Amino acid sequence: MLLMKKVFFFSLLLLTGIAANAQSEKYVKSMEKLIQAMDTTWNTDRLVELSNSFERIADAEKTQWLPYYYAALARVNAGYALGKNNAAEQTDPYANKAEELINKADALEANNSEIYVVKKLINTLKLIGDVMGRYMTAGAASAEALAKAKSLNPENPRVYLQEGIDKMNTPPQFGGSVEEGKKILEKSLEKFKAFKPASSIHPQWGESVAQRFLSR
């Protein structure tokens, strides 16, 4: 009887342990699957779908910042995937929704360099929609977010990735330079080599993007 009781409690412990573990395993597995899908997707509709999926996980988990972070990243990339020469009318819905999502991530995880990288991406998307009209607002916010990302973690390779791309894409009259941009991208590659993500689902994207821009 005593043995049976012990076995019962042991089993119960085991069972709850598995359940709890299964929960986080389910979270990690689902996230890994979606993150992998993101790495191979550059299509607006598909990225919106992924963003929705991340948001679902985020809403269900409630305390995890990563799914909101990826939901925002997928959403802002969906805006970029529309292609160049899209006016603010087209890109703003993506930027606004991404902003809403990244603010949720920010509320759960304050002062994270990765979150500011996404904020930078969002403001740059807004800027591209209306360069003349938003140079002073979104342009300044974008530069500010990137500076903050750098100050929070100077080792974050994605900071240099964005800085390099910006330098390459800015017209020379505004201080842009393809050559200098590439130098910064080289630096980002060094940082990528040294970078160790905190887990399999923490941000680690960007190395292939840097290589793609360098080969242009």
Partner 1 sequence: MSAKPLLLLFILMTGVYSLHAQTRISGKVTDKKGRPLYSASITLKDSYDGATSDSAGNYSFTTTETGSFVLVISASGYQQTEIPLTLDQPELKVDVQVKEQITELRAVVISAGTFEASDKGRTTVLNSIDIATTASGMGDITGALKTLPGAQQVGETEGLFVRGGTASETRTFIDGTPVNNFFYSSVPNISQRGRFSPFLFKGTVFSTGGYSALYGQALSAALILESVDIPDESEGRVNVSVIGLGAGLQHVAKNKKSSWGVNYDYTNLWPAFRVIKQKQDFYDVPVYHTADANFRIKTSATGILKYYGYFSHNKTGFRTNSIDTLGYKDAFGLKNLNTYHNLSWKEKIGRKWRLQAGTSFSVNNDDIDSHLQDGTNKDILLTGLEFKQFGLESRGRFYNLKAVLERRLRNLSMLRFGAEYNYSNERSVYTAYNGLRFDQRVEEHIKAAFAETDVYLTNELAAKIGTRFEHSSLLGKVNIAPRASLAYRLGEESQASLAYGIFYQNPERRYLPSPYDLNFSRAAHYIAQYQKVSRLTTLRLEAFYKKYHNLIKTEPFNNTTVAANNNGYGQAHGVELFWRDKKTIKNFDYWISYSYLNTKRDFLNYPGALTPNFAATHTASLVLKKFVLDWKTGFNLSYTYATPRKYYNIFDDGTGSKIIDQGETPDYHNVGFSMNYLPKLGTKKKGQFTVLVLSVNNIFGLKQIYGYNYSYNNIRRQAIIPPSRTFVFIGAFISFGVDRTDDIINNNL
The one segment of 57-65, 102-110, 120-128, 157-165 that binds partner 1 by CB under 8 A = 57-65
Residue 164: CB minimum distance to partner 1, A = 17
Residue 15: CB minimum distance to partner 1, A = 6
Dihedrals phi, psi of 203, to nearest 5 degrees: -55, 130
CA nearest neighbour of 101 among 166, 57, 142, 43 = 57
23 lines the binding site for partner 1 (CB under 8 A)? no
26 lines the binding site for partner 1 (CB under 8 A)? yes
The Cα–Cα gap between 158 and 21 comes to 32
Out of 20, 24, 25, 93, name the contact with partner 1 by CB under 8 A.
93
Among all chains, which residue has been given the structure tokens 């591209």? 128
The Cα–Cα gap between 210 and 194 comes to 15
> What single letter denotes the amino acid at residue 171?
P
> What single letter denotes the amino acid at residue 153?
N
The Cα–Cα gap between 79 and 102 comes to 15
Residue placing its CB nearer to partner 1 in the complex, 44 or 209: 44
97 lines the binding site for partner 1 (CB under 8 A)? yes
Contact 182, 215 (CB under 8 A): no
171 lines the binding site for partner 1 (CB under 8 A)? yes
107 lines the binding site for partner 1 (CB under 8 A)? no
The Cα–Cα gap between 83 and 196 comes to 32
Out of 20, 28, 87, 107, name the contact with partner 1 by CB under 8 A.
87
Out of 20, 32, 103, 133, name the contact with partner 1 by CB under 8 A.
133
At 68, list the tokens.
Answer: 């909101």
List of residues contacting partner 1 (CB under 8 A): 1, 3-4, 7-8, 11, 14-15, 18, 26, 30, 45, 48-49, 52-53, 55-57, 59-60, 87-89, 93, 96-97, 130, 132-133, 137, 139-140, 143, 170-171, 173-176
